[in-house]
Amino acid sequence: MSVKAVITDWGGVLTSPLAEAVEVWLNADRIDVERYKTVMRAWVRQAYDGAGTNPIHGLEDGTLPTAEFERLLAAELLTVDGAPVEAAGLIARMFGAFAPVEPMYEALRAVRAAGARTALLSNSWGNEYPRDLFAELFDAVVISCEVGMRKPDERIFRHALDLLGLAAAECVFIDDIEHNVRAAQALGIRGILHTAPDTTIAELRGMDLLP
C-alpha cells in the first residue's frame, strides 16, 4: 500500500535537538548538570514504562498545569552554587534555544505539494509552537495537552489517523524517540526514527513522497 501521509513529531524533528537546547539552558541558569540528569532520567523512564504517572506524563497529557510542572522540577534542582532554581518561566528558558530545521520544513511543504497529506503529532511540554505556519504545513494538528492523550498511547495515534481519514498502513510517522516510533509501528504505521534531516528526507524519498 502506498504512503499517503506523513505524521511528524515537532521537538527534535522540526527543531534542533532537545539535548542542545537543554545544554544551553543548563549553562545559562548555571544548573547542577548531574542533579538535573538524575532527576530527568527517572522522570522520563517512569513516563515511558507504562506504570503509573509522573510530572512528565501529567504535563504532556494536560492534567498537570505547566506552572506546577515548573515548580516541581525547580524544587528538584539546584544551581552549581547550591542556590534554588527559579520556577517561573522555566519551560520557556529550557526550550529557548530551539531553532527550526528548515530542510524538514521544506520537506513537509514538498510532500504536500506532491499530493500527500501531513499531520503534526506532538507531546507538548507547555512550549510555544509556530502556529502561524500550521496552515501551510499540516492538514491536521494533534498536540497532546489539547487532546488529553500522549505518545506512546495508541489512542493518540488513532486520533491522528481519524483526522487524516487514512488507514495506518497509508501513513508514515517520524519521531526522534524510539519508543514512540515502535508504538506507531505496532498499529501498522510505518516508522522513521529521526536522527538527522538528511537520513529522514532520504527515507521519505524512498517512499516516493519526495522527488
Mean pLDDT, rounded, for 126-152: 96
Q: Which residues pair with 140 in a beta bridge?
A: 119
Task: Indicate if the pLDDT at residue 49 is higher than 90.
Answer: no
The three cell numbers locating residue 111: 510532500
Tell me which of 49-63, 70-84, 195-209 is least confident.
Answer: 49-63
* Residue 139 CB neighbours (<10 A): 17
CATH 3.40.50.1000 spans which residues of the chain?
5-16+99-206
Fold of 5-16+99-206: Rossmann fold (3.40.50)
Q: What does pLDDT average to over the chain?
A: 95
The beta-carbon contacts of 182-191 under 8 Å, at least 24 apart in sequence, are 182/152, 183/151, 183/152, 183/153, 183/154, 183/157, 184/7, 184/157, 186/154, 187/154, 187/157, 187/158, 189/7, 189/157, 189/161, 190/3
Residue 145's closest CA among 159, 128, 126?
Answer: 126
Q: Hey, what amino acid is at 33?
A: V
Instruction: State residue 54's pLDDT score.
Output: 86
Residue 76's closest CA among 40, 126, 129, 28?
Answer: 40
CA–CA dist 6, 118 (Å, integer): 5
Contact 114, 107 (CB under 8 A): no
Mean pLDDT, rounded, for 137-153: 97
Residues near 200 by Cβ (< 8 Å), separated by ≥ 6?
13, 104, 107, 174, 192, 194
The pTM of this model reads 0.94
Task: Indicate if the pLDDT at residue 114 is higher than 90.
Answer: yes
Instruction: State residue 153's pLDDT score.
Output: 94
Q: Tell me the pLDDT tens digit for each residue of 25-34.
A: 999 999 999 9
